[in-house]
Chain A
Amino acid sequence: MDVSSIVFWLVLLGLIGYIIAIYNRLVTLKNRYQNAFSQIEVQLKRRYDLIPNLVEVAKGYMAHERETLDAVISARNNAAAVLKAIGEQGAGGVEMGQLAVAESSLGKALGALNVTMEAYPDLKASENMQQLSEEITTTENRVAFSRQGYNDSVTAYNTYRQSFPPVLFATKFGHPNDAALLEFEDSAEIQAAPKVSF
C-alpha cells in the first residue's frame, strides 16, 4: 500500500468518526431539551399542589371573599386536569394550547387573590402565610427557570442543527425540524404599549 492510499483511508476514517460524532451530538442535545421540558411539567405540578394550601390558609382570614378563592381553586383544578391529560397522552399542539390558556387564567385568579390579600394585614403577617408565600415564590421561580432552561437547551439544539457541517446531515439523521421555543401565550398583550387614560 502506498502512502497516498494510506492517507486516503485515514482521511476516510476520520470523516466517518466525525459524522458519528455529529449524530451523537444531535441525539444528546435533543434528549437534553426533552428532559428540560419534563422539568417544566414537574414544576407546574408542584405549583398546582401548593395552591390548595394557600387557599386553605387564606380562608381562615378572608371568609367573605369566597368568590375569589373559588375562582382560584377552579382555575387550578382545570390546569391540573390538562397537565394530567398531557402526561398521559403526550403533548400535542392542541393540548399545549389548552395548557397555556388554563395557566393564564390561573395566573389571573392568583393575581386577583394577591390584590385581595393586601386588604388583610393579619393574613400577610401570619407565620403560616409567610412560609407559604416563600414556597409559592420559589415555585413561581422554578417554573420560570425551568422554562428558561428549556429554551436554553432548545437554542443549543437549534444552533447546532443549523450550523455548517451538521446541517448537511441533520435531516437524514432524523432531525428535520427546529425545536419550538416556549413563548408567552399573551406575548401580543405584553408587546402592546400600556394604555394610560386620564
Chain B
Amino acid sequence: MDFYAAQDHARRSSRWLLLWFIVAVLLLIGITNVLIAMLIYFLGATTAPMAGEEAVRGFIAAFSWETFTFVCLGVVATIFLVVLFKWAQLSAGGKAVAERLGGQRILPHTDDPSQRRCLNVVEEMALAAGMPVPPVYVLAGERGINAFAAGVSPADAVIGVTQGSLENFNREQLQGVVAHEFSHILNGDMRLNIRLAALLKGITFIGDVGEVVVRGGRSHRGSLSTRSKNRLPPQAMAIGIALWLIGLLGGIFAGLIKAAVSRQRELLADASAVQFTRNPQGVADALKVIGGYPAGTNLLEPRATELSHIFFGQINQLWQLARTHPPLPDRIRRIEPHWDGQYIKVDPDKSYRGTTRDQQRREAEQAEKAEARRRQAAVLGATVAAGAALGGAAAGSIEESGSSAPDADFDSTAAGASTIPTDLAEQARDPFGAHAVVYGLLLADGFEVQEAQYALIEASGVRGLAITTRQLQPAIAGLAPVLRLSLLELALPALKCMSAQQYQGFKDTLLKITRADNQVDLYEWCLYQVVRHYLDPEFLQVTPSKPRHRKPVHVRQEYRTVVSVLAWHGHQDEDDRKAAFHRGVESVGLYNLTLQPMEECGVAEFSRAVNKLADCYPLLKPRLLKGMAKCAAHDGELTPEEVEILVAVAAVMDCPVPASIRSNPVID
C-alpha cells in the first residue's frame, strides 16, 4: 500500500467530518434560538391566542435583536462552560487513564520475557517515530487482544496493552500494533477525541435545557396554581419537548459524526503504522490474529466502553454507524488489498501463552535466577570497588566535560553503589524497597521517635512497609554518610513507578516522618527537597518559577544566609569559617557582608532564602551555586553534609549541580 497517499486521504476525510461537526453545532444553536424566541413570545402572550397574520407579526416582534443576542450569548456561554468542564474531566494525564483501566506499569527491569519484549518494541517504535519513550502499562487480567494510547500530548502519553496481546502476538505483529498507537499520539488524535467528546456534551446540553423546560413547566404548575391561573401555556410545554427531542437527535447525529471521525483516524493510524515499521505485514497480521481469536478485542473492564475510541480494536459491538472502528476485513483490505479472507489462528504452543502451563517450572527458575543475580551483583560490587580508585577519576572526567548523558549519571551512581551493601542496593532498585529505603534514611536516632516513625509508616497503609524499613534500618544506619545521597539517588528511579495518588500519600508520610520529632533539621530538609525535585515533574503539573532577580545584589540577604549555613556546617575553626564565607560571597561580587550568627541560620530561614534564590534568572543561578561550592570547598574538602546541602539547594533552584561537586569522588 502507498501509505503516504493513504495518510493524505484519511487526513482529508477527517477534516471534512470535523467541518460537518461544526456545522451541526451551529445549526443546533440556531434552532435553539428560534425555539427560545418562540417560547418568549408564547409566554408573553397573556391574552387569548392570536391567529393568522397577527400571530406571525407578534412572533417576529418577539424575535428582536436584543433577545437574539442574549440567547446567543447565553447558549454559547453555557456550552462553553459545559465543554470546559468536560474537557478538564477528560484531559487527565495518560497515566491516570491507564490506571483507571486497571493497568499496571511495566517496570524497566522486568524479568518476564513477554513484557521485556514489549518494552523493547515500544522503544524501537519511539526511535522510528522520533518521540520520547512513553511508559508502558499492561492490563494483566484481560484475555482479549487490544491495546491503547492515552494522554493529551506526547509528553504525558502512555501505551497500554492487554495480557492477551502480549501472549498472542509475535514480535512483528506487536510492533505493528504499537506503531498504530504511536501514530495516534503523533497525529494528535487524543486531543481531537477530547475536543469532540467535549463538543458532543455541549450539543446534548440543548436536550438538557428542553428537559428542564418540561420539568420546570410541571413544577410551575404545582407552585403557582394556588396563586394565579397564569400557567405555563401548553405551547411552551410543546417547545420544551421539541427542544428535548432536537437535543436528543443532535446528540445522536453528533455521536455518529464522532464515530465516523474516529473510524477515519483509525485508518490513518493503520497507514502511519506501516510508515513507522515499513512492514505492512505486521499490522495486517495483527488484525488477522484478532479476527481468528475467540475472545476478539473485548475487555472485561466496564470503564473501557466509554474510552472505546482510544483502543486498537472495537470494544463493544454496536451497529455499523456508531462503531468507533472500521470493520476488521476493511482494515485488513486497506493494508493488504489481495487478502484471501483467512484469519490467523494462533497455535497456543507457539505463543507466550504456553508459559502459564509450566508456571511452576518458571517460578523455580525465577528463584534460581534471583540467586544467580545476587551472586553476580556481589562479584560486580567487588570488582567495581577494586577499580573505584580508577573509576572515580574516570567518572570525574565525564562530569567535567559537561556531559549530562544519562550514561554518565548512571556510572557515577554505580561507582558510589560499590560500597553500598548489595542487599540495600537491590532493595533501592525495587519500587517497594525504595520506599523503605527513603523512609529509612529519615529515621531519627532516638528509640522513641523511631517507634513513632514506624507507626507513621504503618499508618500510611502499605502492608509490610514498616517491617521492611525496620529490617533495613541497621544497614542504613551503618552506612557511611557520604553514601546517603548515592543511596537516595539509587532509589529515585524506582519511585517513579508510583501512581500520582500513591505519590501524594508518599509525600505526606515523608513530611510526617520528618516532623515526628517536632523539628525539621537541615538533613531532613535536604533529603525531602531532593526527592521532591526529582519526582514532582513525574506526577504533578509543575509550573516553572518566574525569574525576578537579575543581579546578585537583588538577593544579597538570601545569598548571605545560604553561604553562612554552608560556612557553619563543615568548617570547625572560627577563622576558617569566616574565610570560607568571604570567599563564597566575594566570588559572586558581593562585598561588605558579615557571617550570619548561628542562631539566625535555622532551617526556616534557610528554606525561605533558598526559595527566594529560586526566582533568579537562569544565568545567575549557576553563578550563585558556583560561589556556594567555593565556600564549601574552601578548606580543601567537601563533607557529605556540604554536598547534601549543595545538591538540595541546586534541586530547589532547578539548576544543575556544579561539576566541581559531582567530580569529587564520593568513595572514602
Does A145 lie within 8 Å of B171, measured CB to CB?
no
> Interface-forming stretch among B120-128, B229-237, B311-319?
B120-128
Q: Does B515 contact A (CB under 8 A)?
A: no
Does A145 lie within 8 Å of B120, measured CB to CB?
no
Chain B CB count within 10 A is highest, among A32, A36, A145, A149, for A145
Does B130 lie within 8 Å of A142, measured CB to CB?
no
In whole angstroms, how far apart are the Cα atoms of A148 and B175 in the complex? 15
Taking CB atoms, residues of chain B closer than 8 Å to A141 are: 120, 124, 175
Q: How many residues of A contact B (CB 8 A)?
A: 19
Q: Does A39 contact B (CB under 8 A)?
A: yes
Does B128 lie within 8 Å of A148, measured CB to CB?
yes
In whole angstroms, how far apart are the Cα atoms of A142 and B278 in the complex? 13
Does B123 lie within 8 Å of A149, measured CB to CB?
no
Q: A127-B365, A138-B123 are in contact. Are A149 and B128 (CB under 8 A)?
A: yes
Does A149 lie within 8 Å of B120, measured CB to CB?
no
In whole angstroms, how far apart are the Cα atoms of A137 and B125 in the complex? 14
Q: Does A153 contact B (CB under 8 A)?
A: yes
Q: A127-B365, A148-B278 are in contact. Are A134 and B127 (CB under 8 A)?
A: no
Taking CB atoms, residues of chain B closer than 8 Å to A127 are: 365, 369
CB distance from B168 to the nearest CB of A (A): 17
Does B128 lie within 8 Å of A138, measured CB to CB?
no
In whole angstroms, how far apart are the Cα atoms of A145 and B171 in the complex? 15
CB contacts between A and B, total, < 8 Å: 42
CB distance from A42 to the nearest CB of B (A): 9
Q: A130-B113, A131-B113, A134-B116 are in contact. Are A146 and B127 (CB under 8 A)?
A: yes
The B151-194 residues at the A interface (CB cut-off 8 A) are 171, 175
Q: A43-B127, A148-B278, A153-B130 are in contact. Are A138 and B121 (CB under 8 A)?
A: yes
CB distance from B459 to the nearest CB of A (A): 41
Taking CB atoms, residues of chain B closer than 8 Å to A146 are: 127-128
Taking CB atoms, residues of chain A closer than 8 Å to B124 are: 138, 141-142, 145
Taking CB atoms, residues of chain A closer than 8 Å to B171 are: 137
Q: Does B470 contact A (CB under 8 A)?
A: no
In whole angstroms, how far apart are the Cα atoms of A141 and B120 in the complex? 9
CB distance from A98 to the nearest CB of B (A): 24
In whole angstroms, how far apart are the Cα atoms of A120 and B127 in the complex? 34
In whole angstroms, how far apart are the Cα atoms of A138 and B120 in the complex? 6
Q: Does B117 contact A (CB under 8 A)?
A: yes
Does B113 lie within 8 Å of A142, measured CB to CB?
no
B111-138 vs A, CB cutoff 8 Å, 1 = contact: the mask equals: 0010011001101110111100000000
Q: Among B117, B121, B130, B175, which residue has its beta carbon within 8 angstroms of that of A36?
A: B130
Q: Among A131, A134, A142, which residue has its beta carbon within 8 angstroms of that of B123?
A: A142
In whole angstroms, how far apart are the Cα atoms of A126 and B289 in the complex? 29
Q: Give B277's nearest chain A residue, CB to CB.
A: A145
In whole angstroms, how far apart are the Cα atoms of A127 and B362 in the complex? 11
Does B120 lie within 8 Å of A134, measured CB to CB?
yes
CB distance from A114 to the nearest CB of B (A): 17
Chain B CB count within 10 A is highest, among A32, A135, A137, A138, for A138
Taking CB atoms, residues of chain B closer than 8 Å to A135 are: 120
Q: Give B130's nearest chain A residue, CB to CB.
A: A149
Taking CB atoms, residues of chain A closer than 8 Å to B130 are: 32, 36, 149, 152-153
In whole angstroms, how far apart are the Cα atoms of A152 and B4 in the complex? 12
In whole angstroms, how far apart are the Cα atoms of A148 and B127 in the complex? 9
Chain B CB count within 10 A is highest, among A39, A130, A152, A153, for A152
Taking CB atoms, residues of chain B closer than 8 Å to A153 are: 130
Taking CB atoms, residues of chain B closer than 8 Å to A134 are: 113, 116-117, 120
CB distance from A153 to the nearest CB of B (A): 7
In whole angstroms, how far apart are the Cα atoms of A134 and B121 in the complex? 10
Closest 3 CB pairs of A and B: A138-B120, A145-B128, A145-B127
A residues lining the B interface (CB < 8 Å): 32, 36, 39, 43, 127, 130-131, 134-135, 137-138, 141-142, 145-146, 148-149, 152-153
B residues lining the A interface (CB < 8 Å): 113, 116-117, 120-121, 123-125, 127-130, 171, 175, 276, 278, 365, 369
**Could you list some 6 contacts between A and B, CB below 8 A?**
A134-B116, A141-B124, A145-B124, A145-B125, A145-B128, A153-B130
